[in-house]
Amino acid sequence: MCELFAMSASQPTDVNHSLALLRPRGGESGPHADGWGVAFYEGRAARVFKEAVPAAQSRCLAFIAEYDFQSTMVIAHIRKANPERIGRTSANTHPFEREWNGRSWVFAHNGILPGIRTNPEFAARRFRPLGETDSEHAFCALMDAIAASHADAREELSADTIVDTIRPLVDKLTEFGEFNFILGNGESLIVHAHTNLHVLRRHCRVDGCQREVALIATMPLTDEPWVQLAPHSIHIYTDGREVPADADTAREHSNRRSVRRSDAAAPVMNN
């Protein structure tokens, strides 16, 4: 499959250490050798870097992992093509990006959704795939649902509104296969933990300012107390904090709170 990584922070933060740990999994210590990508948000716009080469061999990613890019939201992906015939091309490399309502929307997926590209229920409308992956097709379907439901939107959509809009479609798409994904728009990071995603919370003071950071990864990157997200759950992260998506999610958040207290004293270092 693939591996996902994302960060939400209350203050601009680098993810150098996390990318350095993720990079070998792309073809060296792990099998995800069919491309890599990382998006750094700068306000409403995303700066997206990606290559259809193994992450472990990429000089570009090695440079990025050492460069002091800082952001309050980052989304990254290392790819294992499945099926293999959908090969290494830039168009098939995550994360994918689209513009809507004056924002960059960025999406990365772990899993497979066989059959959705030929299913008329998910036919592309306003947003169309550039590549051949079911991942990008699913992203376009989500963006179509958001745009169609809020065609006259003149103000920012709340994360709750976005989740309420896409939840029925997400439920349908999970019937086709595995659908772990991260969707960001520079304001909110929306995470769907279908089968396997983990979160790590960090808190510290930097230059007299309290900083909160939430890291999301398919598999933990460090030996810190990562918490596995409940299967079939949707989570919203803004400024490094989790915002309950609805009453059910709020209850899940409350149940996990005691577990997460154990990482409250973990220092924020290079992520």
- Residues catalogued as catalytic: 2
The alpha carbon torsion through 168, 170, 174, 179 (nearest 10 deg) reads -170
Per the prediction, the chain carries an average pLDDT of 89
* Cα separation, 125 vs 143, whole angstroms: 10
pLDDT of residue 265: 35
Confidence of residue 153 (pLDDT cuts 50, 70, 90): low
Q: Considering only residues 82 and 185, tell me which one the structure prediction assigns the higher pLDDT.
A: 185
pLDDT of residue 225: 96
CB-count burial class (<10 Å; 0-12, 13-18, 19+) for 254: exposed
The phi and psi torsions of 189 (rounded to 5 degrees) equal -110, 115
- Among 55-59, 86-90, 154-158, 246-250, the minimum mean pLDDT is found in 246-250
| 239: three-class secondary structure by DSSP | coil
Mean pLDDT value of segment 143-150: 94
Domains of the chain, each with CATH number or no CATH:
3-263 (3.60.20.10)
Q: Considering only residues 152 and 141, tell me which one the structure prediction assigns the higher pLDDT.
A: 141
Q: Considering only residues 51 and 206, tell me which one the structure prediction assigns the higher pLDDT.
A: 51
The alpha carbon torsion through 42, 43, 44, 47 (nearest 10 deg) reads 0
* Cα separation, 234 vs 180, whole angstroms: 10
Asked if residue 253 has pLDDT above 80, the reply is: no
Asked if residue 116 has pLDDT above 80, the reply is: yes
